Amino acid sequence: MRLLLIHADFLEFRALQPTPAAEEVEEGRREGRAEEVLVAFTAVEEGDGENAEAVISRASGEILDLCGKLGVRRVAVYPYAHLSPSLSSPDVAVGILRGLRERLSEGGLEVLHVPFGWYKAFTLRCKGHPLSELSRTISAEPAAPAQAEEEGGELRVLSPDGREEGVDPDDPSSCPLLAENPHLRHYLLSGKEGGEPAHLSLMRRLELVDYEPASDVGHFRFYPKGELLKSLLEDYAAQLARQVGALFIQTPLLYRLEERDIGAQAAKFLTRDYRVRLPGKTLLLRFAGDFGLFRMMKEAQLSYRQLPLRVFELSPSFRLEQSGECVGLKRLRSFTMPDLHCFCADLPQALEEYRRLFRLFLEPFRRMELPYALVLRVVEEFYREHRDFVLELVREEGRAALVEILPERKHYWVMKHELQFLDPQGGGAQLSTVQLDLEDSERYGILYTDAEGRRRGCVILHSSMGSIERWIYALLENAEGRRREGKVPSLPLWLSPTQVRLVPVGERHLGRCLGEAEALEARGVRADVDDRDWTVARKIREAEREWIPYIAVVGDRELESGKLSVRVRGSGTREYGTEELAEEVRRRCEGFPHRPLSLPKRLSLRPLFVG
């Protein structure tokens, strides 16, 4: 915002002709006169709408301060576009000017309203003393927030048998229950790990993911194998959503920051969002899928008969994390979040839905054998009333959980849980979560009609399997953990870019390999053929280095027998028929989505992405 402040003997104005952007003004208010007045010529600039409250607060502070020095009790807020070459949209300007007038009035000043968007004639007489002509530039940038740590809650360990013990984070050994549950101790001590995460080298060596130097920090390129892995995880997230009967939607990536609800939500993130500045407006790249979904649900006509209603979106999202906080695929600025929101009629229905989601998101961890800890955060009053429900979740998990009891509600949720992946270096990261929200529905106007015809707010459950990129991080780190334990590192079979590698001993065996690959592909198995001009030993070493689950070497013996001699990763060598091998792969991948190869079947035809 730009201000030109004139201390005047008088100001007279008359609004003559409206522009297309003119605000509506009653005829009797289109002219006015004020004496002994501070005239605040004002231009609202592009970007001011991003933090309108800060602009209003700072501008009113400057004006009130000057009025105090001058002994003036009367001010005219005069819209004057000529002070800046870069103006905000009319809607933003009108809103900020209204807020400025209200703030000045609350400060005890008599405020003259000069209409916005009109061609006006005016006369004033400047007093001509040292403080009679001043200019000010008001920044829209938010002040650096005082990083006062949020008051932590009381930590407790809750076991499936109902035992509950407090935990001192500075002395974990003082809690006997914690000693019985090393996974919780791992979580409590996470963040103290050192060294480079293993996945940073693995994601490149396996030709999955890489840094993109032409983009921003925390944005990655996905090679064909990585794109396949990412797409399969996205398919799995969608499959879980279909299991609970979710509706699928898509919403925009960009939102107008001057929209009140979006601006308010963005203000909580402060500078952690991406913004696109265009003439007259600023757009926000979404940092969560809530923006479009909540707008959609606000306009929807909902009945209690339709609840619980589940809505799923695979949400590309953006968060402007500090560059030093971005760590490979563990913490990014661009990520894909499979968001599942459930809209419930009341708390009992929401708790039943919570149980369903809790079980739903345990499934990926158990099926992919990832180490994790269950961490719950609950407002104290809610915990007292619903401890049995929390204990029920802990029993469903089967091991003790860490519970943080918060003295009061400071967020939209009263309870949430996280499934925290535990990596082999002593660190970890949140993957799945469910959050019980009792306030956002009415705040955003998401209402339904109950059995008596009354309009009521929903209870909302925010949930997710976890960002797709972070799942890749977890899978690679888990494989490194297996290696450290003396086991063979691998990806889950259903996620392996190549499931079966066929290696011909000589040229005359190539046709059989290509035929086997086609037969396996027809049976839903990703199979390729290493036809490069390498020795068989080198081809096998390369396949092992790529973590290929099944490596079949085809020579004269295999041509004669019709069987395949197959190295099974981590299990030795055995013979398979084509159908038998395909059936084993299908059995091990049962319940997971499938996609075909993402690269040519013959390795000699593939480009090398990472040298």
**What is the domain-level CATH number for residue 41?**
3.50.80.10
Residue 507: give its domain's CATH number: 3.40.50.800
Q: Which of 414, 449, 476 is the last residue of a domain?
A: 476
Whole-prediction pTM: 0.78
* Nearest CA among 239, 470, 290, 294 for reference residue 372: 470
> Helices marked H in 208-311 — which ranges?
224-243, 260-269, 290-299
Contacts of 262-266 spanning 24+ positions with Cβ under 8 A: 262/291, 263/49, 263/50, 263/52, 265/290, 265/291, 266/50
- Same domain as 232, residue 99: no
Number of domains in the chain: 3
- Same domain as 408, residue 314: yes
- Is 97 among the domain residues? yes
- Is 208 among the domain residues? yes
Q: Specify the pLDDT at position 148.
A: 40
Q: Strand, coil or helix: what is 48?
A: helix
Residue 241: give its domain's CATH number: 3.30.930.10
Range of the domain at 45: 2-137
Q: Strand, coil or helix: what is 217?
A: coil
Q: Specify the pLDDT at position 203.
A: 95
- Is 261 among the domain residues? no
Q: Which of 441, 476, 511 is the last residue of a domain?
A: 476
- Is 406 among the domain residues? yes
Q: What angle do CA 418, 422, 426 make, to 5 degrees?
A: 130
- Is 83 among the domain residues? yes
Q: Specify the pLDDT at position 193.
A: 53
Q: How far is CA 114 from CA 12, 40, 53, 121, 246, in A?
A: 10, 10, 21, 11, 52
- Same domain as 390, residue 324: yes
- Same domain as 162, residue 130: no
- Is 201 among the domain residues? yes
Neighbours of 28 (CB within 10 A): 7
- Is 144 among the domain residues? no
CA 53 – CA 544 distance, rounded (Å): 59
Phi and psi angles of residue 336, each rounded to the nearest 5 degrees, phi first:
-115, 120
Q: Which of 476, 510, 528 is the last residue of a domain?
A: 476
Cβ(434)–Cβ(358) below 8 Å: yes
CA 552 – CA 459 distance, rounded (Å): 54
The HSE-up count of residue 418 (CA atoms within 13 Å, CB side) is 17
- Same domain as 526, residue 460: no
- Same domain as 448, residue 320: yes
- Same domain as 407, residue 512: no
CA 247 – CA 70 distance, rounded (Å): 62
- Is 109 among the domain residues? yes
- Same domain as 438, residue 412: yes
- Same domain as 350, residue 208: yes
Series of mean pLDDT values for 10-residue runs along the chain (611 residues) = 94 93 88 95 86 87 90 94 89 91 91 94 93 86 45 85 88 84 85 74 95 92 97 97 96 85 67 77 84 92 95 93 83 94 96 96 94 94 95 94 90 92 86 91 88 94 95 95 92 97 95 95 96 95 96 93 92 92 96 96 94 73
Q: Specify the pLDDT at position 174.
A: 82
- Same domain as 159, residue 83: no
Beta-bridge partners for 316: 336
- Same domain as 429, residue 296: yes
- Same domain as 462, residue 372: yes
